[in-house]
Structure 1
């Protein structure tokens, strides 16, 4: 069943946001590389790849429904500067923005009676809960570490051990 025009547009906007998220994480990776924190930079690059995978999930849903998604304008992310906490605060803020967008898309699909989109959107809602919790935990640990260089390097090593998820 083809998506109606309202949902077609909304899904395209979500796809654009997911691609924008990928680029934002890439910018954060650059900043962390510049701060000599290769593990955290690697974590951000993996996150960037995951956001592109999320865009692909939405694209696949829209095209399977007989629609053709349109990627909109991408807003360039700002450079967070050298502060690690600022980088992860930017990541959390962006995840919260994505979460709200997915919840709004879910509510719209409900209002439009499009039950075929709800399983996909439910998966994304669960995914966003996990994403926000993960970044919040990292931020909490960064606040505990404060200016402790060895603690920061330990967390950098831990985050650098992350491997891409197999979805």
Structure 2
């Protein structure tokens, strides 16, 4: 088995890690960046970064948590990047110029936007990430605090505020899963 000289992981082990964590990481990245191709790029960058620096992984947290932290950091870097901001600006400008949609397209878009997932994706990143990590990825508030480099109380406050924001936007039937928690 070939082993990269800077790392302690074989190509076969890396393939197994990619197979077992790839789908999870791409979904995590997508919830941040809201674009599949960008999420795929971030997932690939995460695995490349891990492969190059696998020797630094000290098993203080689970591999899933470690890879999640790398992914979250890469997503944050992407969201702060000039390239992303320029792309968002040009997309919104293009939407203003070509806003001639058929009634069917408008109805489909309106229906899709009423979905709970879309409402979560509309939240500011600091609220979206705690909701997604807690409810969809099933991390504890303590694990989330480690991922986001903030206190556990900050995570709990963000969860409460995110749920308050969602209550204002979502039909109560869609809200059932998060009301009592």
Determine which structure has greater relative contact order: mean sequence separation of CA pairs < 8 Å that are 6+ residues apart, divided by chain length: 1
* Same fold? TM cut 0.5: no
* Greater radius of gyration (CA): 2
